[in-house]
Amino acid sequence: MDIVTTPTTPDGNPELADAAPTPHEPPVIRREDYKPYPWIVSETHLDFDLGLDATRVVSKLTVARNAKADPADTMRLNGDGLELLSVKVDGEVVNNWRMDGDDLILPLSSDAHEVEIATEIDPSANTQLMGLYASGGMLCTQCEAEGFRRITFFPDRPDVLSVYTVKMRGSAEQFPVMLCNGNEVATGEEEGERWAEWHDPWPKPSYLFALVAGDLVSNRGTFTTMNGREVELNIWVREEDLPRTDHALESLRKSMKWDEETFGREYDLDLFNIVAVSDFNMGAMENKGLNVFNTKYVLADQETATDADYDAIEGVIAHEYFHNWSGNRITCRDWFQLSLKEGFTVLRDQLFSQDMQGEAVKRIEDVRILRAAQFPEDSGPLAHPIRPDSYREISNFYTATIYNKGAEVIRMMRTMAGPEKFREGTDLYFDRHDGEAATCEDFVSAIEDGAGLDLKQFRLWYSQAGTPRVTVAQEVVGDGLKLTLSQEVPATPGQSEKKPVPIPLRLAVHSRANGATGPEQLAVLTEAEQTFEYPLAGPDPVVSINRGFSAPVRIKRDVSQDDLAFLAASDDDPFARYEALQELAVGHLVAVASGDRSDADRAAGEDALAKALGAILTDDALDDAMRGELMTLPSESYLFEQMDRPDPARIHEAREGLKATLGTTLASEFHALYDRCEAVPFDGEGARGARKVKTQVLTYAAASDPAKAAELAAHQYDKADNMTDRQGALMVLCGLECPERTARLLDFYNRYKGNALVIDKWFTLQALSLHPQAIEHVKALAKHDDFTLRNPNRVRSLYMAFAGNPQAFHAADGEGYRMLADLILELDPINPQTAARFVPSLGKWRKIEEGRAEKMRGELERIAKAGNLSRDIYEQVARSLEG
């Protein structure tokens, strides 16, 4: 992996030709250049002298030549911004080392050595929040992907596994709690100084190292594993946050039990700690035995957290816990294999959440996320396979493709194998590779062998980018149905030619005439075009295809509004029912936004949607959680992806117009439904679904009768006894010009101004609102006393929400684009990893109408020419311009 190329500018990218040179031209790392590290680091001993402004680190590494690697007479130890104090080899100070950029190159003459390195760092100056940094008076770490090199010099790559022993010391007053990976083996206090020693018996890569020291308290519990091991559980937080940790602790217990029952995975230490940190780039981190979490995914109570927050906490805690096996016990050989741990673990947390929350609604939520985040990624300049071939900055590849599409690819293997055979494959994977740094190929081979599948062609899913498009044609032949399926994988940057991939499609044939349904079938499309034959269930056949979203593909078919309305009202597969209504709405809205519908056709489309939605509103067999999903129209961003060079303003006008029509046409049904749901107490049966439905009703009312919506939303806000109702009401009020809006926004702020997570919601609701002055509101909020660029949650709460506001962000004069580019340039020197997350919003310039495209591209070019860019920003901007 040390063999790289460093081009001055990407080939064929004239936009960057005049850009000022960056201080560190980002090298290209290629998967094909992987070589095993020449040294084995069997043991790592770390000694920390802790301080917020100065921390001294002494590392002792037991190293030996790796017989499986090419021999080397030097050892490359990665570093980043470290102050080197001393180097010893076998107890003797040496000075024959040299620096290669930030890396330390140390000559080693024998087959085995003990290397000791002393460094000093300033955690309080670490605004990148990678490595060891200070957060609100405490010290914590984030080492994935390459943060450990900001703590000490080390071979900071995932295939170097070592057993860690850590000792730390510091002020007993400042750091009364000291945590690390593994189990605590000794602790003490002398003359105002506290010390603690921790040992992790399981070899791990440096990216899984974790240390936390500060004034914390814990919500303590226990869990007894299936083989009788009693595990101590702790959720560590600041004292004032302790009452909001019960849900997190219970979620951890559920996760441990579920993983034993579903995947046979038992926890392997005596202690499991979770720490909540307010300054954190990510959602959470699975460090062995010491998970570090963003407070957003730990703290919850009825007053401050929504139902969605509760679900997210449960899912994220499960995700990080499941990593103990799918990520920690078996880790990645190199960062190109990132989806090995992330895709598999996302699938595991999705299956867990399905069992906890209900399969149908959870599946719809997962697909909505995939389509909102990953489908656009697959069709844009940043498209990449789930196992990339190259990168310049690995933090840019923590993407929806790696996580969400990676999960869908593994889910397809599970669909083809069946749950029982898939479990045999995962058992084989865990048995074969426990304690190793593995590859995606290792996983696929284990599923292939354990489940008895032939996955030779399936491996193309790992190497090809792009979302396949499946075209469906049907023909009645005698008493059967002939179904012709064809597939195309569109060209993506660097991949112009694609091969057909196996696509498992669950389907069933309905009869619209008699309402009968044939048995569900699994058709696996492996060729560019194939024909399948199925018996009819009766006259007027209607095909329900990609049931449960069995494959992450786009379906194209010529289907009538009547057939879609039938599926939306009658399909026995909940996802297919949702999908039919979405398809009906998308077809109508795209035609309206494109100007392709006559007044008569528009009226017919609205009538069909009103009938379908009306059936959903009055269907007593539906639970309200599912009803709330079926009431949700396709998002403007999803509609954007369905069109060629669309005008976002026309999409917005079409969608709001449809909401207004439906709100008016179904006003009595909506109000009756609202009244019924309002009567459900907070913890009554179906209460969560009822709360979801109430907010959906308010959104339709806001479009059709703003004055009535303002009155109803204000009433809901004032009487709310939970955050879901209060936030839902305020969301609607934020988009209206009415006195109720100002009064409730002020009340919300004064009520929660001491709670950072809830104030994040306050920023987000205003940045996402449909209010015509949303841009001016965002500008004002950026100057608010509570806004800071140094906290990633706060930055995302305002600017990520704004970038997701189609109406405001895509203002015709380009002001939204300028605001985001200004943010990127200002944030990059502070926290490049967070800053880089905003570049893809500008990278859509090739897909949008020409006037806005020119403005978006202009802002990317302005960023490129600014100079002194981080590797994170440089790569994202370069690829967005050249893609």
Active site residues: 320
The Cα-based distances of 120 to 79, 132, 180, 364, 747 in angstroms read: 12, 11, 19, 49, 47
Place of tokens 């979620």: 251
Tokens of 101: 């950029």
Residue 680: φ, ψ to 5°: -80, 125
Report how far residue 497's alpha carbon sits from residue 699's, in angstroms, rounded to the nearest whole number: 44
20 with 867: CB under 8 angstroms?
yes
Report how far residue 764's alpha carbon sits from residue 797's, in angstroms, rounded to the nearest whole number: 5
Residue 67: φ, ψ to 5°: -65, -20
Alpha helices in 753-870 (DSSP H): 756-767, 774-782, 792-795, 801-803, 806-809, 815-827, 832-836, 839-842, 850-864
Quick one: DSSP state of residue 172? T
Report how far residue 98's alpha carbon sits from residue 120's, in angstroms, rounded to the nearest whole number: 18
Report how far residue 684's alpha carbon sits from residue 439's, in angstroms, rounded to the nearest whole number: 47
Nearest to 671 by CA among 628, 712, 630: 712
Question: 837, exposed or middle or buried, with CB in 10 Å at 0-12, 13-18, 19+?
Answer: buried
Report how far residue 814's alpha carbon sits from residue 858's, in angstroms, rounded to the nearest whole number: 10
209 with 148: CB under 8 angstroms?
yes
Report how far residue 382's alpha carbon sits from residue 370's, in angstroms, rounded to the nearest whole number: 16
Chain-centroid distance of CA 850 in Å reads: 31
The Cα-based distances of 263 to 322, 349, 416, 480 in angstroms read: 10, 12, 18, 41
Q: At what angle do helices 648-665 and 574-594 cross, to 10 degrees?
A: 120
Tokens of 109: 């003459």
Count helices and strands in the chain by DSSP H and E runs: 31, 31
The one-letter code for the residue type at 627 is R
DSSP codes of every residue in 558-587:
---HHHHHHHHHH-SSHHHHHHHHHHHHHH
Collapse the DSSP code of 707 into the 3-class scheme (helix H, G, I; strand E, B; otherwise coil) and give the result: helix
Report how far residue 648's alpha carbon sits from residue 655's, in angstroms, rounded to the nearest whole number: 11
Nearest to 730 by CA among 720, 741, 715: 741
Q: Quote helix, strand, coil % in the chain, to nearest 5.
A: 45, 20, 30
Collapse the DSSP code of 383 into the 3-class scheme (helix H, G, I; strand E, B; otherwise coil) and give the result: coil
504 with 522: CB under 8 angstroms?
yes
Report how far residue 791's alpha carbon sits from residue 829's, in angstroms, rounded to the nearest whole number: 14
Quick one: DSSP state of residue 373? I
Report how far residue 240's alpha carbon sits from residue 723's, in angstroms, rounded to the nearest whole number: 19
Collapse the DSSP code of 613 into the 3-class scheme (helix H, G, I; strand E, B; otherwise coil) and give the result: helix
Nearest to 202 by CA among 310, 304, 331: 331
* Pairing relationship of beta strands 529-535 and 541-545 according to DSSP bridges: unpaired
73 has which bridge partners? none
Collapse the DSSP code of 285 into the 3-class scheme (helix H, G, I; strand E, B; otherwise coil) and give the result: strand
Tokens of 717: 């806000």
The Cα-based distances of 490 to 464, 485, 553, 641 in angstroms read: 10, 16, 11, 14
